[in-house]
Amino acid sequence: MTNSFKSISQFRQDFPILKQDVNGKPLVYLGNGATTQKPQIVIDTLREYYEQDNANVHRGVHTLSARATDAYEGARTKVKNFINAASEKEIIFTRGTTDSINLVASSYGHANIGQGDEILVTAMEHHSNIVPWQMLCQRTGATLKVIPINQRGELLFDEFKQLISERTKLLAIVHVSNALGTINPIEEMITIAHQNGVPVLVDGAQAIAHISVDVQKLDIDFYAFSGHKMFGPTGIGVLYGKQALLDAMPPYQGGGDMISVVSFSGTTYNDLPYKFEAGTPNIAGVIGLGAAIDYLSAIGLDNIAAYEHHLLDVLTKQAQNIDGLRIIGQAEHKTSILSFLIDGAHAADIGELLDQQGIAIRAGHHCAMPVMEFFHINASARASLAFYNNEEDISRFISALNSSLALLR
């Protein structure tokens, strides 16, 4: 390992949860695709907010409310800078990626997509970027079209170019597949979509903690992500949307904070971003997310990406030496995820035996059943990395896998 890689893995010390034994062995956490662990600074920020500043935002005339509001809006600026949005008005706080996509499906979808229109997704989407569109199609009579993938788990680009047409009203694509680890060529796809006048929503749930994202440079129309997958709290997420699109969209939910004037003769709505933030928001979650962003930015996404690339290489090479191991997802451009099956062993059994040795992975369909269907499997085992993992974690994982297989086969 080079020195700079070593210094990145030192950040592991900031994560108290990783210092424990599980089932008598030091924890090796490889469940990062499902959720990431929280550094001390995020935990402290949440505690300090509740100990010192807790109050409702945008309402109170008192000091605590002013502090809470400043911290809440300060975190919005941090998110804006993190993804290089043009304005805070383009940053909507939601419950997570799922909520962000449902917001676009309900609001943008209702206003812009109708009978005979098409929505284009890929065959490697998480259910969160399938089901909201299916529900919209059921309501409107629009049709969902699917860009196919190959056996390596890469999109068929020529098929994409064939499928996009004047009927396409939205392209909704995953940036990084949670089931395969594939990094999709979103820049090229956005260019082609825009040449056809089609806006693009990108599901960034698995990308945001691993790849640096510049929404202006990529010319992304909507970008959705979750705080809990980027070392922030659960229950908080972001929808980035271009201001012109968000301005033209009707509100998603009605209630407090999203209004300007309410009377029984009619209601006018608040400006962006508040138009889409009805009700008391997850104030602590937003402030905690701001702390996670400061933390991530200090390490640097490009440093993280280079280190994780190295770790994935080491992991993949060692896994390939295991007799009967089949990697699901062998795209040329991948990040952080090793999805696999082993002849003669069920994914769930592998997961359980690893857990007995203190190693946390995920086994199942990963909420990407169409991916499982494509590969003719029911489930896979998945080890997913974060920057706090190291080569020792990988050695522990590989040797635990070998001893599990000795029991299973």
Footprint (CB under 6 A) of ligand 7TS, residues 332-391 = 362, 366-367
Residue in 367, 372, 377, 398 annotated catalytic: 367
Question: Least separation, in Å, of the C-beta of 327 and ligand 7TS?
Answer: 17
The nearest distance, CB 245 to ligand 7TS, in angstroms, is 20
**Which one of the spans 68-76, 201-209, 317-325, 395-403 is the region binding ligand 7TS (CB under 6 A)?**
201-209
> Shortest distance, CB of residue 329 to ligand 7TS, whole angstroms?
12
Binding-site member from 174, 211, 283, 361 for ligand 7TS (CB under 6 A): 174
Query: How many residues of this chain interact with ligand 7TS, rule: CB under 6 A?
Result: 17
Residues in the chain: 409
Among 30, 33, 119, 387, binds ligand 7TS (CB under 6 A): 33
Rounded to 5 degrees, what are φ and ψ at 220? -75, 140
By beta-carbon proximity to ligand 7TS, the closer residue of 135 and 367 is 367
**Distance in Å, CB of 217 to ligand 7TS, minimum:** 21
Could you tell me if 326 and 339 are in contact, meaning their C-beta atoms sit under 8 angstroms apart? no
In degrees and rounded to multiples of 5, residue 217 shows phi and psi of -65, -40
Return the axis-axis angle of helices 391-408 and 301-320, rounded to nearest 10°: 30
Are the CB atoms for 218 and 191 separated by under 8 Å?
no
Exposed, middle or buried by CB within 10 Å (0-12, 13-18, 19+), for 115? exposed
- Euclidean distance between the first and final Cα of the chain, in Å? 34
Q: Where in 203-242 is the site for ligand 7TS (CB under 6 A)?
A: 203, 205-206, 226
The reply on whether position 155 binds ligand 7TS by CB under 6 A is no
Other CB atoms within a 10 A radius of the CB of residue 165 amount to 11
Q: At what angle do helices 283-299 and 40-48 cross, to 10 degrees?
A: 150
Among 122, 168, 178, 212, binds ligand 7TS (CB under 6 A): 178
Which listed range, 52-60, 94-102, 284-292, 321-329, lies at the site for ligand 7TS (CB under 6 A)?
94-102
Give me the least distance between CB of 234 and ligand 7TS, in Å please.
8
Name the residue number minimizing CB distance to ligand 7TS: 178
Torsion sign (Cα): 296, 300, 304, 307: negative
- Contact segment (CB under 6 A) with ligand 7TS among 78-86, 154-162, 182-190, 198-206 equals 198-206
Minimum distance of ligand 7TS from residue 321's CB (angstroms):
26
Q: Which of 1, 22, 34, 163 binds ligand 7TS (CB under 6 A)?
A: 34
Task: Indicate the helix (H) or strand (E) that contains 262.
Answer: strand 259-263
Distance from C-alpha of 236 to C-alpha of 202, rounded to nearest angstrom: 18
| CA–CA separation, 350 and 326 (whole Å) | 14
String of b and e for 228-267 (b: at least 16 CB within 10 Å)? bbbbbbbbbbbbbbbeebbeebebbeeeebbbeeeeeeee
Q: Residues with Cβ < 8 Å from 3, sequence gap 6 or more?
A: none
> Which CB atom, from 184 or from 212, has the smaller least distance to ligand 7TS?
184
Contact region for ligand 7TS (CB under 6 A) — 92-100, 105-113, 161-169, 265-273? 92-100
367 is catalytic: yes
C-alpha of 374 from chain center: 22
Residue ranges in 95-134 that form contacts with ligand 7TS under rule CB under 6 A: 96-98, 126, 128-129
Could you list the residues that contact ligand 7TS (CB under 6 A)? 33-34, 96-98, 126, 128-129, 174, 178, 203, 205-206, 226, 362, 366-367
Positions marked catalytic = 367
